[in-house]
Amino acid sequence: MVLLPDEGEDMWHTYNIMMEGDCLRATTIRKVQQESATGSSTSSRIRTTITIRVEAITFDTGACMLRVKGRNVEENQYIKMGAYHTVDLEPNRKFTLFKEQWDSVTIERVDNACDPAKHADLAAVVMQEGLAFVCLITSAMTVDRAKIDVNIPKKGKADDTQRKKAVAKFFDQVMAAIIRHLNFEVVKAVLIASPGFVKDQFFEYMMRNAVQTDIKLLLENKSKFVLVHSSSGFRHSLREVLEDPAVTAKLADTKAAGETKALQQFMTMLGTDPDRAYYGIKHVERANDSLAIETLLVSDSLFRSKDLDERQRYVRLVDSVKGNGGDVKIFSSLHVSGEQLDQMTGVAAILRFPMPEIEEEDHALDSDEE
């Protein structure tokens, strides 16, 4: 399959599609040493097309780069068979991926990635006094761009100039991070979330400063800023922000919002009717055997498993749920909600009807062990 990634997010998709043992053909630059007739050697960098059998894949979230290491399987004039090479996949450069078997999950993933309608970039600044995260949210990824941590003295001193100074310094840093890391041409909205009044204070400060120092970038995009409430300035409160109805309306059907919603549903279900919400592969599979699954939540990190059997197990599960008319949501492990799902074994399910017997069975097993 020939793929052309045109943005950082596609790299993430590629990372999820590619498996060890696949073959990859891409252009790359390789340093080649040539020995002339006289014995002097020259080394030159040559752009060439190479086909490798993938042995290791690493994904750099910061730069959205994919590094693929493997052995050459197709000899050419520069590179011998079996020589190791590491390909950096770059945006806007075609590559070809060969797989022995394309399963349904990967195919769907490719379809998803190719669908431009689902793209909506969003930036979020989660902050509390002295702490701020600047994150970029795309449909499949949440990437931290900056973390700002400043010590702000508490109130109660005779003069609060120190405190004011520290707050101003903190706001300046957040502002600088916004200007540096956000591309306003792509970003559709910037969420500023904080408990209390920090967000209002910051927004006021930023706009006042932008007027004073004439930062056009901010002034022109003033309408893109949305102030949202969050309970803390930690990264995981981003989930809370995305649950906010005001934000959900704005995000409409982006993947991030959908995931958050599904996870929230699962949590509420666990609270109200615990017999209809299960997590952990064993429990979920058992529920699936009785065709009980209404919504299946799976983290994509499970499909990256190196163990082929394990991967197949999850693929089978997904296929079977789909076959039974269930809804499958594959979470991106780069999102906050996906992170959370990963924490709870990576797979969870909301059932159509309560199945208390699952837990009882489990109980029986437990007592057997004892």
The site for another protein (CB under 8 A) is made up of: 130, 151, 153-157, 160, 162-163, 195-197, 201, 229, 231-232, 234-237, 240, 267-268, 270-271, 274, 278-279, 339-340, 342-345, 359, 366
Phi, psi (deg, nearest 5) at residue 193 = -120, 140
**CA–CA separation, 17 vs 11, rounded Å?**
10
Under 8 Å between Cβ of 212 and 148: no
SS3 101: coil
**In this complex, which beta carbon is closest to another protein, that of residue 10 or of residue 339?**
339
Compute the C-alpha angle 291/296/298, nearest 5°. 135
Distance of closest approach, residue 276 Cβ to another protein, in angstroms: 12
Distance of closest approach, residue 59 Cβ to another protein, in angstroms: 21
**In this complex, which beta carbon is closest to another protein, that of residue 22 or of residue 259?**
259
**In this complex, which beta carbon is closest to another protein, that of residue 74 or of residue 359?**
359
Count of CB atoms situated within 10 Å of the CB of 346: 22
Q: Give me 175's structure tokens.
A: 């502002």
Q: Residue 53 is inside which H or E element, if any?
A: strand 41-60
Distance of closest approach, residue 177 Cβ to another protein, in angstroms: 19
Strand partners, 122: 137, 189
> How far from the centroid of its chain's Cα atoms is residue 221's Cα?
26
Distance of closest approach, residue 32 Cβ to another protein, in angstroms: 34
**In this complex, which beta carbon is closest to another protein, that of residue 116 or of residue 156?**
156
SS3 242: helix
**CA–CA separation, 36 vs 241, rounded Å?**
64
**In this complex, which beta carbon is closest to another protein, that of residue 39 or of residue 156?**
156
Distance of closest approach, residue 232 Cβ to another protein, in angstroms: 5
Distance of closest approach, residue 231 Cβ to another protein, in angstroms: 3
**CA–CA separation, 255 vs 240, rounded Å?**
15
**In this complex, which beta carbon is closest to another protein, that of residue 44 or of residue 231?**
231
Which residue bears the tokens 């390789």? 30
